[in-house]
Amino acid sequence: MAKIKEINLKGEQVKDLTLNDDIFKIEGNDVVLKKAIRLQLDSSRQGTADTKGRSEVRGGGRKPYRQKGTGNARQGSIRAPHYVGGGVVFGPTPRDYGFKTNRKERKLALKTALTDKLNEKALVVVDSLELKTAKTKDAIELLDSLKLTGKTLFVSAHDAEMLYLATRNLGNYVGGGVVFGPTPRDYGFKTNRKERKLALKTALTDKLNEKALVVVDSLELKTAKTKDAIELLDSLKLTGKTLFVSAHDAEMLYLATRNLGNVAVIMADELNVFDIVNSDTLVMDEDSVKYVEEALK
């Protein structure tokens, strides 16, 4: 009978445990083991790959030309597989990749895997897997005390919720997820109105102190030509990223500057902190200045 040391969570030996030779000391069957692994992996495949055959492709309902007299080989449809845009021959279709194995094979595969782990001295038996807290720190200490490295699989006969919660952030724990991996979420958050107003005032003050705020009487252009927008930038001696803010409809300015990668045009009621900070120069017409002053009172 095979024997193995049973230890506690601190790594100290508690007693010797006798194992059943019919399970942990058999002559392994690698063929059955491979088959069981392939069954589990194949069963997890989605099997949603799909291609359209000749009868499924849209079009090709009539002959492309008459049967005889053209000098070409006879053709019945332009959706035949040898045509571009035709159906796919023997392409994948949705299917279940799983297959069946009998009960004796599944048991033999499991016994083979357990025997291999025992022979490789990769089987550890502990008296209990109960943790007092669900802290990842405690799980790391447990792994260190048991001198476990690499991928580790914990198997418990009782509820091991604390162990699961403590190890779910560890990537080398089989059954745990990706460490701090992304999950669908809304990254937005709320701020109160006073904070938003104060941030906007701060951004405008910084632009004024940096002499990066330009006020013009009007931002109306007569045409929507990019040439006129470039002349406007040159006349105002503007370089780098420029943000135009208008209190009125600035369609001509928007159309004239949309091909310029370093220029943006927004309405006064769309003014925000990010656009101000992200620009090198802020250009506002007189009415937009009055609108902002009234809004931020």
Instruction: Please check whether residue 112 is in contact with residue 29, taking contact to mean a CB–CB distance below 8 angstroms.
Output: yes
Is the same domain home to 219 and 249? Answer: yes
Is 96 a member of any domain? no
**Bridge partners, 152 (sequence order):** 173
- Structural domain of 259: 193-295
pTM for the predicted model, two decimal places = 0.52
Q: CA-to-CA distance for 232 and 224, rounded, in angstroms?
A: 12
CB neighbours (10 Å) of residue 149? 9
Is the same domain home to 242 and 259? Answer: yes
18-57 residue pLDDT tens: 999 999 999 999 999 999 999 999 999 999 999 999 999 9
174-216 residue pLDDT tens: 444 455 567 788 888 888 999 999 999 999 999 999 999 999 9
- H helices then E strands: how many in the chain? 10, 7
| Mode of pairing for the β-strands spanning 281-285 and 242-246 | parallel
Q: CA-to-CA distance for 190 and 245, rounded, in angstroms?
A: 25
Of all residues in the chain, what percent carry a pLDDT higher than 70?
96
Is the same domain home to 207 and 159? Answer: no
Is the same domain home to 207 and 290? Answer: yes
Is the same domain home to 205 and 177? Answer: no
Domain count, the chain: 2
Is the same domain home to 227 and 291? Answer: yes
Is the same domain home to 197 and 265? Answer: yes
Among candidate residues 185, 219, 250, the one where a domain is terminated: 185
Both structure tokens of 274: 């990010």
Is 145 a member of any domain? yes
Q: φ, ψ for residue 65 (rounded to 5)?
A: -160, 170
Is the same domain home to 227 and 277? Answer: yes
Both structure tokens of 131: 């943790």
Altogether, the residues listed in the chain come to a count of 297
